[in-house]
Amino acid sequence: MAAALGSALWLQQRGESDATVVDCDLLVGPCEFTTNAGVAWLELSPRPISSASPFQVNVSYPGDAPSSIWIDLQGKEMYMGINQVTLERTDESQSKHWEAEANLGICTTGIMRWVLNLILEQKDGQEVYQFEFDAR
């Protein structure tokens, strides 16, 4: 719990400028982005994403397996609490695919803009990739 809180505060303090912003619409399909190891993919499903239902987060990573992959979900305009999920390898022998189930906080304003920070933990540090999407 303390580690999660520390990570959340760390992400908030480092600001958006330290993350690589990925310009891709996760509501249309998988997003391709370039990491230090090559081209990776992030996909959320089923689409459209809704705060009323859990959704799957899938990552395909091209290089050697990171020590961990996790996401931090934040409301862009409204604080929605700490929402972090660690992804698991789908098959230990196939370390290139990771997945998890996630949920969004319920917002009473209708459509809300969300920021998803994808964090790749490596032996020599972190890579952070930032995506934005709308959800009801």
Q: What is the pLDDT of residues 30-76, one digit of tens each?
A: 999 999 999 999 999 999 999 889 999 999 998 888 899 999 999 99
- Whether pLDDT at 29 is above 90: yes
Rounded CA separation 53/61 (Å): 26
Q: Name the burial class of residue 42, with classes exposed (0-12), middle (13-18) and buried (19+) by CB atoms within 10 angstroms of its CB.
A: buried
Considering the entire predicted model, what is its pTM?
0.84
Q: What mean pLDDT comes out for the span 19-38?
A: 95
- Whether pLDDT at 15 is above 50: no
Position 136 scores a pLDDT of 87
